[in-house]
Structure 1
């Protein structure tokens, strides 16, 4: 985290996003006075890693204080593109299997 005073830090749940935009993971945060690393941001919670090698913990986004300048955003379309790719691959497999079956 950049050397930010606690005055610059805001709760993660106050970071507003547009629809079709998500907060990208991998940024520092402050949780109860301890520096942590945010590895995933969900709707109401965040997954944090207290320190390298320690188990990850699910916490409420209100408890994570972040510097807004550390936050990166990405379009949600990439998530749906991956799903469309998996669905297309499944359809192709099914079509190939039905083409190999002998006609009754």
Structure 2
């Protein structure tokens, strides 16, 4: 190789290296807010719900959500589950069970 060819290749590599981009130090990554916005899961008709009450196995049930959006829970009766989050349904069952069970832990 001639001196001119070596110089040309070295100069080309230097220019390409200068054009390369990478993450800037201290810059936060760009996140699309729409990709982050995920609604909580909503229970629907025909979903199967497992209700567990800690240290009360007689109250544990696995039930389908009926067409009217309700489930039946021992001691509590019918609970509206359709269109609600699991946390909302769990909180309602917990509140209803407080009449019968001391400090119920419902999942």
The two structures share one fold, judged by TM-score above 0.5: no
Normalized per residue, the structure richer in strand is 1
Q: TM-score, normalised by structure 1?
A: 0.26
- Which has the bigger relative contact order, CA under 8 A and spacing at least 6? 1
**TM-score normalised by the chain length of structure 2:** 0.25
Q: Which has the larger radius of gyration?
A: 2
